[in-house]
Amino acid sequence: MSNARANILARLRARTAEKTPVDLDRGFESPDWSKEERIEHFCKAMRSVKTEVHLVSATDWANKLAELAKAKAFKNLLYAPAGPLATQIEAAWKKDSELPVLVTREVDVDGWKEELFFDIDAAITSTRSGIAEVGAMILWPTPEEPRTFSLVPPVHIAVVEADKLHNTFSDAIINEKWYEGMPTNSLLISGPSKSADIEQTLAYGVHGPVELIVLLIQ
Amino acid sequence: MHQTAEFHKRVKDALNNSQLRSNFRVAMDGLMEKRSNAFPDKQFLEELRITGSKLRANALVKQADLLEQLEANCTRNGIKVHWAETIEEANHIVLGIMDSHNATRMIKGKSMVSEEMELNHFLEAHGKECVESDLGEYIIQLDHETPSHIIAPAIHKSKQEIAKLFQSKHPDIPYSEDIETMTRSARQILRSKFYDAEIGLSGVNFAVAETGTICLVENEGNGRMCTTAPPVHIAVTGIEKVLEKLEDVPPLLKLLTRSASGQHISTYFNMITSPRKPGEKDGPKEVHLVLLDNQRSKIYEDEELFDSLRCIRCGACMNHCPVYTKIGGHAYGSLIPGPIGSVIEPQKFGLDKFGILPTNSTLCGACGEVCPVKIPLPKLLHRLRYEQVRNDHTGATNGQGSRRSAKEAMIWKLWSWAHARPAVYRTGTKVAALFRGLMPNKMGPWTRVRTAPKIAPKSLHELAREEGFDNE
């Protein structure tokens, strides 16, 4: 390899001493919101970017999921059998034989990429937490719930727990101590995919999900 | 001068294109309104801008250390870091990675650095296929164009023009001028490209030294696709994008999305810290980060121009620029248009090539006022106007003094000589007043749309004396 690294660093270092250090106060302020206010901000911001938000409880969300899956006539629903949502999804599906097929693949995505890209209607994932201020959910995909689940199928359904909402993004990073170690991939998601590249006119459903459904557990 | 004549021709063509002017006017008005609505509280905005500018300045002051920290953390996380002084080196690094995988198909997320590298052109010459996946970038790639705006690359086109373009390139898809339908068509067309691509390439919005994390801001999901679906991900970035800490990201993200398009947050904020780990079922098995200098470390040398490296590429300065709004992005002839382009591009490629750009401004100050990281753009435009005519050979800027004209220099020398000598100055104004009738009515381009100025019969000094003011 060339000396690019050494040359670049040497050029920068030759001038670093001349630069005035910046007096930085990183004490970012956070609003003083109650849980209800956080829910209100989260729902309002999420809905403003065309997310379908349903307020549910910790015990009945899977029934709501079944109801939506039926109403929207999905052919199938991708879920993570080893993920935190599996038990309740499987229980709800046992109650009704008319529901879309539950799909699961234990192997690496490379082994069934074609099916994932072209044959899956919807996928459901859990979330790590959320940000009330801007209406975003935080995902740290895991081996059980891979990152393509929230990306490739046309519909993404996410379960968000209101107790885990932070006021701001700064709060999430600091309260959850992200600086101690980041996962392979972490994501903020706010709404279904969109573009305004043609005449600055907003159109939903580009390369990510066309629809985002949030089940918010109060 | 060659550069000037070509520039004037492009400006003239743009001004005579009423479709183009209307496309820009409508789009820029919309973007200005969206930004303004996203910052209802002006004091909040000002405080956030101060925070943003300090965070960026801090990262630049510590840049050498932070780049080393970034490299160490990325390497520990399994991301391979490459350094390139020139775009040629950067291109060869990307090509080398592709060749090591025998790869021929690349899918690209939006990256201005890859445009700076002219990567598509380079790779295509080596037999590789590069497909742009950002909707705007895809549209201009179909038409073999370059971006006319850093955030909205196809903003110069109307929906009718895009519909016709789609029809000519994809005759199998039914013609439609409906924006949502066209957007969905792009989804259909590109889905198989995401599926097939062997290499995904992306830019970088922030590179966090503390954790070795690459951050990407996007709405379409194409950025996530490019960094998730193919087995290899290559991220290309300018060295100035590094930040010190993860907690520096939220204020800058807030400034970026609100300044760019009035969004409180983008649909996706994608943070990548490592390739696929054992046990994980998807994601690229290899992640590369290419750090490109291309004159950035030279810009770094100048205490004042160094501020231009704070830029977070939101595009607000161009959205609010009265000149950009009239002539559009292509007339600039540079990759990055608008005020920030007029500051950065001449420094990167030389004032001898782009010295005309800093003069292409009314210095109205709007760009400096809206910049989320408080880059003093009008001051820097002014500085580059000076750099291109100074001849003391002491500055660091490429092409310094290249636009100096002997005639202009002499006129100013005479001007300063006369103004330092009251007797000469008085005689001069008297003579001018005496011969005021001889002033021509036609004075070149100036009088094409204006009446010619006339010298007043009495100078201001004379009028003041008549009013009883003394020489003090």
- Measured between alpha carbons, how far apart are the two ends of chain B, in Å? 45
Express as a percent the part of chain B with pLDDT over 70.
99
**d(Cα B45, Cα A195) in Å, to the nearest integer?**
26
Is A18 within 8 Å of chain B by CB?
yes
Is residue B216 helix, strand or coil? strand
Sorting pLDDT into bands at 50, 70 and 90, what band is A26? confident
pLDDT of residue B2: 77
Is the pLDDT assigned to residue A199 strictly greater than 70? yes
Sorting pLDDT into bands at 50, 70 and 90, what band is B265? very high
Q: Per mean pLDDT, which range of B237-251, B315-329, B394-408 is the poorest?
A: B394-408
Q: Residue A9: its chain B contacts at CB < 8 A?
A: 64, 67-68
Nearest CB among A26, A143, A194 relative to B219 is that of A194
Under 8 Å CB-to-CB from B13, ≥6 apart: which residues?
A: B331
Nearest CB among A23, A134, A174 relative to B265 is that of A134
Sorting pLDDT into bands at 50, 70 and 90, what band is B471? low
Pairing of strands A211-217, B268-272: unpaired
More confident residue, B442 or A130: A130
Inter-residue contact B49 to B375 (CB < 8 Å): no
**Paired tokens of B307:** 């501020």
**d(Cα A175, Cα A173) in Å, to the nearest integer?**
6
Nearest to B179 by CA among B193, B152, B158: B158
pLDDT of residue B371: 98
Is A170 within 8 Å of chain B by CB?
yes
Neighbours of B472 (CB within 10 A): 3
Is the pLDDT assigned to residue A1 strictly greater than 60? no
Interface test with B, best of A20, A185, A201 (most B CBs within 10 A): A185
Inter-residue contact B342 to B332 (CB < 8 Å): yes
Dump pLDDT digits (tens) for A51-67.
999 999 999 999 999 99
Sorting pLDDT into bands at 50, 70 and 90, what band is A106? confident
Order the strands of the A52-56 sheet from edge to edge.
A52-56, A211-217, A155-161, A122-126, A76-78, A101-103
Q: Quote the mean pLDDT of chain B.
A: 95
Order the strands of the B129-132 sheet from edge to edge.
B79-84, B286-292, B232-238, B199-202, B105-108, B129-132
Work out the average pLDDT over B349-373: 96
Could you identify the residue written with the tokens 């898809």?
Answer: B173
CA distance B5 to chain A (A): 31
Interface predicted TM-score of the whole assembly (ipTM), two decimals: 0.97
Q: Residue A201: its chain B contacts at CB < 8 A?
A: 159, 179
Q: Residue B158: its chain A contacts at CB < 8 A?
A: 199
Nearest CB among B54, B83, B300 relative to A15 is that of B300
Contact state of A151 with B162 under an 8 Å Cβ cutoff? no
- Measured between alpha carbons, how far apart are the two ends of chain A, in Å? 56
Neighbours of B471 (CB within 10 A): 7
Dump pLDDT digits (tens) for B150-184.
999 999 999 999 999 999 999 999 999 999 999 99
Is residue B327 helix, strand or coil? helix
Nearest CB among A135, A179, A201 relative to B245 is that of A179
pLDDT of residue B446: 85
Which H or E run contains B161?
Answer: helix B159-169
In whole angstroms, how far apart are CA A27 and each of A24, A130, B49, B251? Answer: 9, 21, 15, 11
**d(Cα B279, Cα B286) in Å, to the nearest integer?**
15
Which H or E run contains A165?
Answer: strand A165-166
Express as a percent the part of chain B with pLDDT over 90.
87
Is the pLDDT assigned to residue B338 strictly greater than 60? yes
Under 8 Å CB-to-CB from B368, ≥6 apart: which residues?
A: B374, B375, B376, B377, B378, B379
Is A29 within 8 Å of chain B by CB?
no
Contact state of B154 with A198 under an 8 Å Cβ cutoff? yes
Q: Per mean pLDDT, which range of A29-33, A40-44, B4-8, B452-456 is the poorest?
A: B452-456
**d(Cα B343, Cα B318) in Å, to the nearest integer?**
12
Nearest CB among A45, A148, A170 relative to B264 is that of A45
The architecture (CATH level 2) of A32-217 comes to 3-Layer(aba) Sandwich (3.40)
pLDDT of residue B344: 97
Express as a percent the part of chain A with pLDDT over 90.
91
Neighbours of B285 (CB within 10 A): 16
pLDDT of residue B416: 95
Dump pLDDT digits (tens) for A154-168.
999 999 999 999 999
In whole angstroms, how far apart are CA A44 and each of A155, A203, A208, B353? Answer: 20, 20, 22, 50
**Paired tokens of B387:** 């750099």
Contact state of B67 with A12 under an 8 Å Cβ cutoff? yes
pLDDT of residue B472: 56
Amino acid at A195: S
Contact state of B231 with A191 under an 8 Å Cβ cutoff? no
Dump pLDDT digits (tens) for B38-64.
999 999 999 999 999 999 999 999 999
**d(Cα A55, Cα A41) in Å, to the nearest integer?**
13
Inter-residue contact B308 to B346 (CB < 8 Å): no
- Residue B254 has phi, psi (to 5 degrees) of -60, -45
Domains of chain B: 1-38+308-404 (1.10.1060), 63-294 (3.40.50.10420), 414-466 (no CATH)
Nearest CB among B212, B245, B265 relative to A136 is that of B265
Neighbours of A121 (CB within 10 A): 18
Inter-residue contact A37 to B327 (CB < 8 Å): no
Nearest to A156 by CA among A129, A116, A183, A184: A116
Work out the average pLDDT over B177-195: 95
Sorting pLDDT into bands at 50, 70 and 90, what band is B255? very high
pLDDT of residue B71: 98
Q: Residue A195: its chain B contacts at CB < 8 A?
A: 135-136, 183, 219-220
Dump pLDDT digits (tens) for B278-324.
999 999 999 999 999 999 999 999 999 999 999 999 999 999 999 99
Sorting pLDDT into bands at 50, 70 and 90, what band is A78? very high
Q: Residue B264: its chain A contacts at CB < 8 A?
A: 45, 133-135
Nearest CB among A22, A108, A207 relative to B57 is that of A22
**d(Cα A125, Cα A185) in Å, to the nearest integer?**
15
Sorting pLDDT into bands at 50, 70 and 90, what band is A48? very high
Taking CA–CA distances from A80, the nearest residue in chain B reads: B281
pLDDT of residue A25: 85
Q: Residue B239: its chain A contacts at CB < 8 A?
A: 8
Q: Exposure string (b/e) for B222-233, b if CB count within 10 Å is 16 or more? A: bbbbbbbbbbbb
Dump pLDDT digits (tens) for B74-103.
999 999 999 999 999 999 999 999 999 999
Q: What is the DSSP string of B22-52?
A: HHHHHHHHHHHHHHHHH---HHHHHHHHHHH
Contact state of A209 with B195 under an 8 Å Cβ cutoff? no
Amino acid at A79: Y
Predicted TM-score of the model (pTM): 0.94
CA distance A85 to chain B (A): 18
pLDDT of residue B330: 96
**d(Cα B52, Cα B311) in Å, to the nearest integer?**
10
Sorting pLDDT into bands at 50, 70 and 90, what band is B453? confident
Is the pLDDT assigned to residue B333 strictly greater than 90? yes
Work out the average pLDDT over B421-444: 87
Taking CA–CA distances from B287, the nearest residue in chain A reads: A184
**d(Cα B235, Cα B113) in Å, to the nearest integer?**
10
Sorting pLDDT into bands at 50, 70 and 90, what band is B211? very high
pLDDT of residue B72: 98
Q: What is the DSSP string of B239-254?
A: GGGEES-GGGHHHHHH
Q: Per mean pLDDT, which range of B268-277, B367-376, B383-392 is the poorest?
A: B383-392
Dump pLDDT digits (tens) for A107-144.
899 999 999 999 999 999 999 999 999 999 999 999 99
More confident residue, B244 or A105: B244
Sorting pLDDT into bands at 50, 70 and 90, what band is B395? confident
